Amino acid sequence: MNSRNLPMVYLVDDEDVVRDALTWLLRSRRLLSEGFGSAEAFEEMLDARPERARGWPDAPSCLLLDVRMPGMSGLALFERLIERGIGLALPVIFLTGHGDVPTAVAAVKRGAFDFVEKPFADNALVDRVENALAASAQAIAQRQQHGKLAHRITDLTEREREVMALVIQGLPNKLIADQLNISVRTVEVHRARVFEKMDVKSAVELSNLLRVA
């Protein structure tokens, strides 16, 4: 497997000793990691890959993020990640001191994956990281599925979209023909093309596909 497709844990903490300890811990569980000494440095990494901004991360990833740092705080970075629309694909686990627990709890309510107090228990932390990576994989798969579906819908003609909208309402071909003022045979042709382009075999399957999306 290409290394860029392997799970990645991003570490953002201003203390070198913490990043080094986390790197060692994750390596002991065969997890790759990349460390950053500030929230600003992490954002610079994101800004350096504009061509991937809408599809990043493309491999299971999570972020271990210190709440309190010089400059931009972990909470401020978290809010900016939400604005970028990558919060689900990049679950955030906050690392907090005791005094920062209320802030971390508030962040979890905003969509953060979890928070862990320092000093943390190694096994418990890595277990949460692995859970976050699994959640990331699921979010990425859903995003890719939605992207494929959007491409299929874009490939439909305006008339095919009109027929599709009526098909998923459960209307028979005769009523669709009456509503669109076209022949039943024309409806049948458009219906077949919709099924082919959407890669489904029935109206029920089509409805389920669009409902999941």
Whether 128 maps to a domain, the answer reads yes
Specify the number of domains making up the chain.
2
Considering the domain architecture, whether residues 138 and 196 belong to the same structural domain is answered as: no
Considering the domain architecture, whether residues 89 and 125 belong to the same structural domain is answered as: yes
11, β-bridge pairs: 35, 64
* Residue 54 confidence (pLDDT): 59
- Domain of residue 161, residue span: 155-212
Considering the domain architecture, whether residues 35 and 135 belong to the same structural domain is answered as: yes
Whether 162 maps to a domain, the answer reads yes
Average pLDDT over residues 87-98: 89
Q: Kindly report the CATH number assigned to the domain that includes residue 185.
A: 1.10.10.10
Q: Which residues lie below 8 Å from residue 124, measured CB to CB, with a gap of 6+?
A: 116
pLDDT in tens, 136-178: 999 998 888 887 888 888 889 999 999 999 999 989 999 999 9
Considering the domain architecture, whether residues 173 and 98 belong to the same structural domain is answered as: no
pLDDT tier for residue 134 given thresholds of 50, 70 and 90: very high
* Residue 2 confidence (pLDDT): 44
Whether 176 maps to a domain, the answer reads yes
* Residue 208 confidence (pLDDT): 84
Exposure class string for 128-140: b at 16+ Cβ within 10 A, else e: bbbebbebbeebb
Residue 89 half-sphere exposure toward CB, CA atoms < 13 A = 17
Whether 148 maps to a domain, the answer reads no
Q: Which DSSP string corresponds to 20-70?
A: HHHHHHHHHTT-EEEEESSHHHHHHHHHT-GGGGGG---S-EEEEEES--S
| Mean model confidence pLDDT for the chain | 89
Considering the domain architecture, whether residues 38 and 87 belong to the same structural domain is answered as: yes
